[in-house]
Amino acid sequence: EVQLVESGGGLVQPGRSLRLSCAASGFTFPDYAMHWVRQAPGKGLEWVSGISWDSGVVAYADSVKGRFTISRDNAKNSLYLQMNGLRAEDMALYYCAKDWGPLPRGYMDVWGKGTTVTVSS
């Protein structure tokens, strides 16, 4: 079964850091680009970041550029999102999603259930 399982969310104070993880199974993880997409409470979907199959291409939304870093470990079938300088507006459910192709510019055909990030003092 194709599966993505996110972890690492939690309550964090403004300005602090958090690292999200996504464990992939059921498909050849190294062959595909991956994304992080978030959804603030009661709001729509917002693409956050994407990474190519070989980590050669990374992309970020303007809202997180310079604060968030996406990475992957193909040997561990894992995707990560390092979030620094967290703000109240970063509070959301963060989804890990698989791209249909090797570059992070396609549609997302598999999604995890998400991990919640709460930013509050």
Partner 1 sequence: DIQMTQSPSTLSASVGDRITITCRASQSISSWLAWYQQKPGKAPKLLIYKASSLESGVPSRFSGSGSGTEFTLTISSLQPDDFATYYCQQYNSYSPPFGQGTKVEIK
Residues near partner 1 (CB under 8 A): 37, 44-47, 50, 57, 59, 61, 95, 100, 104-109, 111-114
In the complex with partner 1, which residue's Cβ is closer, 14 or 26? 26
CB-based contacts of 78-82 (< 8 A; 24+ apart in sequence): 78/21, 78/22, 78/23, 78/24, 78/29, 79/21, 79/22, 79/24, 79/34, 79/36, 79/51, 80/19, 80/20, 80/21, 80/22, 81/19, 81/20, 81/36, 81/48, 81/49, 82/17, 82/19
27 vs 47, which CB is nearer to partner 1?
47
C-beta of 52 vs 86, nearer to partner 1: 52
CB of 88 to partner 1, least distance (A): 21
| Minimal distance, residue 99 CB to partner 1, in Å | 9
* Structure tokens that stand for 63 in this block: 């809202």
- In angstroms, rounded to a whole number, what is the distance separating the alpha carbons of residues 118 and 29? 29
The CB-of-36 to partner 1 minimum distance in angstroms stands at 12
Of the pair 44, 121, the CB lying nearest partner 1 is at 44
Q: How far is the CB of 50 from partner 1 (least distance, A)?
A: 7
